[in-house]
Structure 1
Amino acid sequence: MVLYLPKPQNRPKNALQSHISFKIWLFYVKNTLWHDFCKTLAETFKIMNTAEVLIKSLESEGVKYIFGIPGEETLELMEAIKKSSIKFITVRHEQGAAFMADVYGRLTGKAGVCLSTLGPGATNLVTGVADANSDGAPLIAITGQVGTERMHLTSHQYLDLVNMFTPITKRSKQVVRPDTVNEIVRIAFKYAEMEKPGACHIDLPCNIAAMDVEGEVAQMPLKHHRENTVYASTDAILAAGGVFATAKHPVILVGHSAVRNHASEALSAFACSSKIPVVCTMMAKGVVSCDNKYFMGCIGMPQRDFPNIVMEQADLVIAVGYDVVEYAPAKWNPNGDKMIIHIDETPNHVNKFYQPDEEIIGDISASLDALSSVCPNTWEPEWALQIRQMMNADHSRYDHDTTFPPTPQKVLHDIRLVMDEDDILISDVGAHKMWIARQYNCYHPNTCIISNGFATMGIAVPGAIAAKLLNPKKKVLAVTGDGGFMMNSQELETAYREHIPFVTLIFTDGGYGLIKWKQEERYGDSFAVKFTNPDYVKYAESMHLKGYRIERTEDLPRTLREAFRQNVPSIIECPVDYSANMELSQYLKNLNI
């Protein structure tokens, strides 16, 4: 500590004046030293309040961002965040904050954090939190709350948030004692990030937030313990090999757990060495490259598409990282008669259409490596390779089509021309999602993000913000319908303010296209699915963004490239000919394989 002491400016005229001046100077020096000493002591042995300990614990967990909206009941938290290393990103709606945390967690494997005030702020978080929990994305939701002295009363904005979040989280807890907050944070992150990942909720009453946390141990973040890798038993591997030996048409069905547990390389090697066809779920796109000769496409279309036909002919399904929430087993095993080998880090869900003959529980990559040694295969699956050839021919039918408006197939072909293999596409939910799942070729995992557990509209724009934050050098494209876009388009202002440039491509058809498609399939017409749209170019300009409108099919690749060169977010409005929906339904209905 460096102390600069004032010096008397005028020489005293006599001894009395000199003595008085010295006394005044000495008094000032003593008080200054005492004040600085007390300040240093307080900083060294500061008693932190609950909110400060909570934020210190978040820092210890490696949290870099919190997405949210400040509120009166989170004042202590906001003050603690202001003094921390964590960047707070103020959003325009709490649902956007939850979706940002959701996609952040999905891309990193580390829990994304969102924050809201009590009551209506917390209820706005619910959809995004539920999406993360269903999709297996680690997320921590922190809510402010009334003081504990008001909880037994009918009270302004009070809602029992612990019980509200319980069905949509892995764990929902309220901080009721200041000295427990560091434990509650560590437990929340542990639960959120362990298999199957999901959401956890922490509720902090405002009076508890302001209370001092006494005791050095209570103020310190808890230690992290590295989870030991669990390996499958040799008996399970050998038993699975015995099941494989009886199969004539084995097929691999791969789900999202294989993505988040980094099993792409081992899975591709296993498929190639054992010559087994691979079908992926929507959330596992890219875990096996589209140019792998054994890749048979993405399952999820309600119609009998090429991957469905592959699954029909399978007598053994090797389910790798598959979660029943992604695609119901009743759809690919309607008679419950297929042999199943379940390979994952956790046991299977109970389901009468999904009863594995053998379970291999442990590190997925290690399990696949071990299984390859007991699953030798010398013959090519010609039946599946023929289906792949037909699928590829169908997927390329519209590559050179110039009709306007363009078909969804043509739009996705042109997107793929512009995007590099490791660039990231965030899909919203609607008819476009079905086309992305079917037509958009992926080469690497986590390059096409689809919400397909909870399947929530409105995720694309906030999700793209999180993706671009994590990958500033990659192109990030949010693909959305005009229905989903308007649900969270306000977050483009957040992206502009935070200097997060990405491109949003809107498939415009003036309606809820997926529901229209289903209505037309079932009833022959549609009802209550039409709406009008704003001028999206002017909409973009009103938020200081770049806006584009596609008026010729051949303009899309050029427009995409120009939009990606901008240093602000961009919107591209692209009319789409969704007559292709029913055309596809009819085509697949007549598919005779």
Structure 2
Amino acid sequence: MSKTETQSAGKGTCIKTGAQIIVDILQEQGVETVFGYLGGVVLPLFDKIYDAKFNFIIPRHEQGGCHMADAYARATGKTGVVIATSGPGATNLTTGLATANMDSVPLVAITGQVRSDLIGNDAFQEVDTTGITRPITKHNVIVRDVSELASTLREAFHIANTGRKGPVLVDIPVDVAVSSIEWTEPGVIDMPGYKPRLTGHAKQIKTAAQAINSSQRPVLYVGGGIISANASKQLSELAEKANVPVTMTLMGLGAFDQKKPLSLDMLGMHGAAYANFAVQESDLLISIGARFDDRVTGSLKTFCPNAKILHIDIDPASISKNVKVDIPVVGDAIQILPELAALCEHKERKDWFARIAELKKRYPLTYDKQNGLLKPQMVIEEVYNQTKGDAIVTTGVGQHQMWAAQFFKYSRPRQFITSGGLGTMGFGLPAAIGAQAACPDRTVIDFDGDSSFNMTLTELSTAVMYKLPVKVVLLNNGYMGMVRQWQELFYGKRYSQSSLVNPDFGKLAQAMGATGLTCESKDNLQETVSKMLASEGPCVVDFHIEPEENVWPMVPSGKSLHEMDGIDILERLA
């Protein structure tokens, strides 16, 4: 047994193979659904999976399977699990692992490896999986001895879903999977070198409360860490008691109910103008579970020029990494926020809220509704209205992602699932499948773009095979939309290689066994959305939208957060 596992007195033992131990550990950890793809060196494991008690979903590509496990984790808060074979099976996971790592998603990837005696000999389907994935996982390890397999897997689950969460990869040579060992009931996980700090420093929390109480123009700036910590309720209690407006990052959408008056919606490059102006004019920025990435801050030199920065985060490495922090508090938000709220006073701040109301009125998130063409924002609003805002939403990456962030209002955590840090095109459809597997009774909508959807559309066969009724709202403009927008604004409309020739997506969906619909006019929008939502199985709707519609506002790269393009358009349409 490894040093981290101790034998329980009085417990019986039996002989088990490594493959059986893997299955048993998955069941011990409460895993209900596994995503994975077969291959030669994982056949011993899949033979044991044959009798396993969890659901198993086979994607059409390992990348899709990793995105499914990722979204399953985001939708539930549990640890997602994906299995792949050695060589190309493992390398096909890399984009999914990097996506989960950037967005702090708990995930355990189990990869097969060639026999131990062949490692380093360029054997068939051999790659250095741990070497390749070390920069894109929270932790990874190769198991060389079957006696260490159980403890390693338990530690993998513990590491993945504690502290700043993230993906852990366990690489298992096939000889370890077929080796047998005398199995003993588990003991206690003890990892002296891994002790995430959960409780905040009392003095720092008191200092933070004093700063909030004395502030005239505070803003709460919250990210996905609130959702990871399951601290949305505590966030709302703090915001309402202290009477502080709340803006969210892309990953933080759903952390605070956007229908509440205190909501400033999303900030950043394509965030609401009123959120960006409020942040720039604040005297105290209270960051919780966010990492001050470049899409939020714009130019660091002019970010929040007159504000103190208060940063609450479970990851000490994130404190002052990008922006110098005045008041750091390291720990778990679900523990810190109630302590902070108890020390905060309710302040009216009438002048501050009057200024915010002025900004909201002057620069609303809107678009030209008089234009005769079908607008993407119009499609999203119609879906929002017909689902009563209650759907789980996934997206690919591009313009459609930003429109989904702007025009679908999120009221609860784990409702919006998207690739933030890595910006992974093709994430939307497999993510929808993972979310639907996690939440079979919920409506799951994938807002996707034609370019993004093209990258992983074969996963529609997975949805059909497992009867997962995901709805794909395909905003088809015939371009790589966000790239085209940049080419229009910064490259003189020289649309170099950004236009596409697409298939008939409706007919393609039908050929794959799903429902396929097409909508080319806003006159048919309401009826088409209604048909989509009423369809029993997977459904793809090809919405032919205005080809050169842009996302506004937009903070150009290198500009300050308040230097937004398109605010004159929003002001005119207000």
Structure 1 residues 335 and 299, CA, compared in 2 at 3 Å: closer, same or farther?
A: closer
Q: Where in structure 1 are there 5+ consecutive unaligned residues?
A: 1-43
What is the rounded CA distance, in whole Å, between the counterparts of 2:21 and 2:275 in structure 1?
51
Q: How does 1:207-226 map to 2 (within 5 A)?
A: 207-213=175-181, 215-217=182-184, 220-221=185-186, 223=188
Q: 2:324 aligns with which of 337, 355, 377?
A: 355
CA drift at 1:552: 2.1
CA drift at 1:495: 0.8
CA drift at 1:332: 6.6
The answer to whether 1:560 aligns with 2:529 is: yes
1:484 is aligned to 452
1:571 is aligned to 540
CA drift at 1:327: 4.2
Relative to the length of structure 1, the TM-score reads 0.86
Q: Comparing 296-305 with 338-347, which one deviates more in the overlay?
A: 296-305
The answer to whether 1:134 aligns with 2:102 is: yes
2:566 is aligned to 587
Structure 1 residues 333 and 63, CA, compared in 2 at 3 Å: closer, same or farther?
A: farther
The answer to whether 1:376 aligns with 2:345 is: yes
1:538 is aligned to 507
The answer to whether 1:464 aligns with 2:443 is: no
The answer to whether 1:285 aligns with 2:249 is: no
CA drift at 1:491: 0.8
CA drift at 1:191: 0.8
CA drift at 1:300: 2.9
Equivalent position SS for 2:328: strand
Structure 1 residues 416 and 368, CA, compared in 2 at 3 Å: closer, same or farther?
A: same
What is the rounded CA distance, in whole Å, between the counterparts of 2:421 and 2:321 in structure 1?
19
Contact 1:329 1:353 in 2 (8 A): no
Structure 1 residues 348 and 581, CA, compared in 2 at 3 Å: closer, same or farther?
A: same
Q: How does 1:47-196 map to 2 (within 5 A)?
A: 47-196=15-164
CA drift at 1:245: 4.5
Structure 1 residues 118 and 413, CA, compared in 2 at 3 Å: closer, same or farther?
A: same
Amino acid at match of 1:587: G
The answer to whether 1:493 aligns with 2:461 is: yes
The answer to whether 1:301 aligns with 2:240 is: no
Q: Comparing 378-387 with 328-337, which one deviates more in the overlay?
A: 328-337
Q: Comparing 144-153 with 131-140, which one deviates more in the overlay?
A: 144-153
Contact 1:113 1:141 in 2 (8 A): yes
Equivalent position SS for 1:131: helix
CA drift at 1:82: 0.9
Post-superposition CA distance 1:506-549 (Å, at most 9, x none): 11011110011112221221321111100111101111111110
What is the rounded CA distance, in whole Å, between the counterparts of 1:167 and 1:503 in structure 2?
34
- Which one has the largest radius of gyration? 1
Amino acid at match of 2:183: E
The answer to whether 1:201 aligns with 2:169 is: yes
Q: 2:471 aligns with which of 467, 492, 503?
A: 503
What is the rounded CA distance, in whole Å, between the counterparts of 2:197 and 2:390 in structure 1?
28
Q: 1:267 aligns with which of 217, 235, 250?
A: 235
Post-superposition CA distance 1:199-241 (Å, at most 9, x none): 011111112211112x232xx4555799999432331222113
The answer to whether 1:317 aligns with 2:253 is: no
Amino acid at match of 1:549: T
Q: Where in structure 2 are there 5+ consecutive unaligned residues?
A: 1-11, 555-564
Q: Comparing 578-587 with 367-376, which one deviates more in the overlay?
A: 578-587
Contact 2:392 2:444 in 1 (8 A): yes
Post-superposition CA distance 1:301-349 (Å, at most 9, x none): 2588221111110121011111234845454763575311112333351
2:4 is aligned to none
Cα RMSD for the two superposed structures = 2.7
What is the rounded CA distance, in whole Å, between the counterparts of 1:532 and 1:324 in structure 2?
38
1:391 is aligned to 360
What is the rounded CA distance, in whole Å, between the counterparts of 2:406 and 2:298 in structure 1?
20
Post-superposition CA distance 1:456-503 (Å, at most 9, x none): 111111111111112112111011100010111111111111111110
CA drift at 1:115: 1.0
1:344 is aligned to 313
Amino acid at match of 1:357: D
Contact 1:57 1:222 in 2 (8 A): no
Structure 1 residues 397 and 149, CA, compared in 2 at 3 Å: closer, same or farther?
A: closer
Amino acid at match of 1:124: N
CA drift at 1:352: 5.8
Counting aligned pairs with the same residue, the percent is 29
What is the rounded CA distance, in whole Å, between the counterparts of 1:332 and 1:416 in structure 2?
35
2:5 is aligned to none
CA drift at 1:69: 1.1
What is the rounded CA distance, in whole Å, between the counterparts of 2:179 and 2:83 in structure 1?
20
Post-superposition CA distance 1:119-170 (Å, at most 9, x none): 1111111100110111011111111111112113132221111111111111
Post-superposition CA distance 1:21-60 (Å, at most 9, x none): xxxxxxxxxxxxxxxxxxxxxxx97521111111111111
What is the rounded CA distance, in whole Å, between the counterparts of 1:221 and 1:78 in structure 2?
23
Contact 2:73 2:79 in 1 (8 A): yes
Equivalent position SS for 1:504: strand
The answer to whether 1:251 aligns with 2:219 is: yes
What is the rounded CA distance, in whole Å, between the counterparts of 1:476 and 1:50 in structure 2?
37
Equivalent position SS for 1:479: strand
What is the rounded CA distance, in whole Å, between the counterparts of 1:273 and 1:555 in structure 2?
46
What is the rounded CA distance, in whole Å, between the counterparts of 1:229 and 1:434 in structure 2?
34
1:8 is aligned to none
Equivalent position SS for 2:148: helix
Contact 2:223 2:248 in 1 (8 A): yes
Q: 2:390 aligns with which of 412, 422, 425?
A: 422
Q: Comparing 284-293 with 560-569, which one deviates more in the overlay?
A: 560-569
Relative to the length of structure 2, the TM-score reads 0.89
1:435 is aligned to 403
What is the rounded CA distance, in whole Å, between the counterparts of 2:277 and 2:567 in structure 1?
11
Amino acid at match of 1:140: V
CA drift at 1:436: 1.7
CA drift at 1:446: 1.5
Q: Comparing 227-236 with 313-322, which one deviates more in the overlay?
A: 227-236
Equivalent position SS for 1:118: coil
CA drift at 1:398: 4.8
1:449 is aligned to 417
Amino acid at match of 1:475: T
CA drift at 1:590: 7.0
Post-superposition CA distance 1:43-92 (Å, at most 9, x none): x9752111111111111111112211100111101011112112221111
What is the rounded CA distance, in whole Å, between the counterparts of 1:172 and 1:583 in structure 2?
41
Amino acid at match of 2:94: V
What is the rounded CA distance, in whole Å, between the counterparts of 1:582 and 1:424 in structure 2?
22
Q: Comparing 249-258 with 419-428, which one deviates more in the overlay?
A: 419-428
